[in-house]
Structure 1
Amino acid sequence: MKSLDGMKPLLMILPGLALAMFIIGYPIYDLGFTSLQEVSRFGKLLGFVGFDNFREVFSDPLFWASLNRTVIWTVTVVLSTLIISLPIALILNDDFYGRGLARVIIMLPWAVSLTMTAVVWRWALNGRAGLLNATLMNMGLIDEPIEWLAEAQLAFTVEILVGILVSIPFTTTIFLGGLSSLPRDSYEASMVDGATRWDQFRHITLPLMKPFINIAIVLNVIYVFNSLPIIWVMTEGGPANGTDILVTYLYKLAFRFGQLGEAAAISLIMFGFLLLFTIIYVALVMRGERQTDTIEEDE
């Protein structure tokens, strides 16, 4: 009877767990099955081909170039977002006149559709009639219009900056939630001991914010790694595939060239990258926490 009572929590969550496993597991199974098939551009399975789709993907130079840009895109956007968002959250966490309005302004980009944001930036960056060129010329900073999206390296840099801009509100919200939960008595005690704001930030805020920083890193990596709208709307991976990342490369293969088998293979590869990153990062974080607990116990 006691063993049955111990099983009750598991039995209560079992239906939800089974539903979640089906929602997550079936698409992965379907992708795996499709990636091993020859598929027509209309989605008809033509026969088993084994790992030919993966071999086709790995032999394509565009795949490796897209993978390289995906790493640059993800690392740059996530790190820059974290570095910018934490000071913003610290400022918004302080009590000052107009704080509510400032928080609303910071959150506004998050309330707008990502696709619409990308459309607005594409208009603003238009080489002939864009708002940015007109503003810079009126200020005397440039003498002639700049084709922001016509050259791959410049276009990719601009897209990274837009990616950072649209990622800041979400990350700032996570940090604000963490800051609002920090114990005030630790700060009051440090002030009595003569600690400066910088000392408080280094020895109190950062250590206590580690769980929220870890959450922000994992969620942002997953979100940015899979982000399609910004690059697709602004340049469609061009010019000459020079701004493609894996998700836009996959989209072209599937819906422009009808190579659904290769697209399914890339989807599995992307899933594997994200799964491996999450497992390694969580393991490193847990290992660091255990080492910290061990040091504290020894002291």
Structure 2
Amino acid sequence: MPADNDRHLRNRQMLFLLVAPSAAAALLITLVPVLLLVRMSLSSVSRFGRVGDYVGLRNFTRLATDPLLPDIALRTVIWTGSVVAGTLLIALPTALVLNRRFFGHGLAQFLVLAPWAISVTSMSVVWRRVLSDEAGLLNRLAMASGLIERPIIWLGSIPASFGFEIMVAILVSVPFSTVILLAGLSSIPTDLSEAARLDGAGARARLRFVTLPLLRPFICVVLIFNVAYVTNSFPIIWILTQGGPANGTDILVTYLYKLAFTLGRLDEAAALSIVMLCVLGALTVLMLRMLERPAYA
């Protein structure tokens, strides 16, 4: 017994020595920017980045009285909820199909997962060209097929442009989510589904009572990553509309950029960053608590 205890102690010490440097580096990389943001959010900052006097919560008070912020915050919630829900609704059945063996299975996996290798910025630039006013591919195809007589300004109205941005964000998010869900499906023992089938359970019953409960941890992982990623997704909206027209498609991250680098209100931008960090942190903790619950709870 003493020998076993000594061995376990040495193993823990070795593990600590291996993990400690990377943990310290990660803590340094994340903690220092957060501390600098906190300092900026509690100080007056010039448009050139010079940190001045301590002002307390004045920057947060200014944010609370910003007339644009309530609509932008609501739009961010709509943006995040629509993209995350749409991604899951497409990625889950896609993963279920790709988890089966059929003719062309490898090609189908490649076509679904290949866009993951393309950067979000590149995808946004392509869609900007597709949706451009006269020379855009969508207008040219619609006119060539006789569906429209003159070019349509697809990104000229708030509902249309915001809808296209949500669509592009869903298409960009589906490959990564599909990979995570495929990994989850591959980890489910086939014996469970086969036993349920022998007991008379149909395909829907097996999906509802066997597959989905066991897949729930992976679904939670998809939700956690996508909520954090989509909320901070800058390139799609910025490249397609730059938050326009008239701030009508701005979300918090694009408005934060405008506050900092267009309006020169760096202190308020830092305060908004802290608010977003706290909200995302709270959502992540909530979803992690959901992840800890048993699959059949």
Normalised by the length of structure 2, the TM-score is: 0.93
The aligned counterpart of 1:171 is: 177
The aligned counterpart of 2:294 is: 289
Q: Which runs of 4+ in 1 moved over 6 A?
A: none
Amino acid at match of 2:210: I
Q: In 1, distance between residues paired with 2:131 and 2:118?
A: 19
Alignment of 1:9-158 (within 5 A): 9-158=15-164
Deviation of 1:40 (Å): 1.2
Amino acid at match of 1:173: V
Deviation of 1:29 (Å): 0.7
Q: In 2, distance between residues paired with 1:111 and 1:13?
A: 30
Q: In 1, distance between residues paired with 2:149 and 2:202?
A: 47
The aligned counterpart of 1:225 is: 231
> 5+ unaligned residues in a row in structure 2: which ranges?
none
Q: In 2, distance between residues paired with 1:10 and 1:112?
A: 37
Deviation of 1:81 (Å): 0.5
Q: Deviations over 1:32-68 (max 9, x none)?
A: 0011111111111122111111111111121222111
Amino acid at match of 1:289: P
Q: In 1, distance between residues paired with 2:223 and 2:230?
A: 10
Q: In 2, distance between residues paired with 1:45 and 1:192?
A: 70
> 5+ unaligned residues in a row in structure 1: which ranges?
293-299
Deviation of 1:168 (Å): 0.5
The aligned counterpart of 1:192 is: 198
Deviation of 1:291 (Å): 8.0
Q: In 2, distance between residues paired with 1:140 and 1:190?
A: 53
Deviation of 1:256 (Å): 1.4
Paired residues in the alignment total 291
Deviation of 1:16 (Å): 2.3
The aligned counterpart of 1:295 is: none
Q: In 2, distance between residues paired with 1:13 and 1:131?
A: 51
- For the residue of structure 1 that corresponds to 2:92, the secondary structure is helix
Q: Is the 8 A contact 2:260 2:266 kept in 1?
A: yes
Q: In 1, distance between residues paired with 2:54 and 2:165?
A: 39
Deviation of 1:275 (Å): 0.3
Normalised by the length of structure 1, the TM-score is: 0.92
Q: In 2, distance between residues paired with 1:139 and 1:102?
A: 29
Q: In 2, distance between residues paired with 1:245 and 1:63?
A: 9
The aligned counterpart of 2:273 is: 267
Let me know the Cα RMSD of the aligned residues: 1.8
Taking only the aligned residue pairs, the percentage that are identical comes to 47
The aligned counterpart of 1:214 is: 220
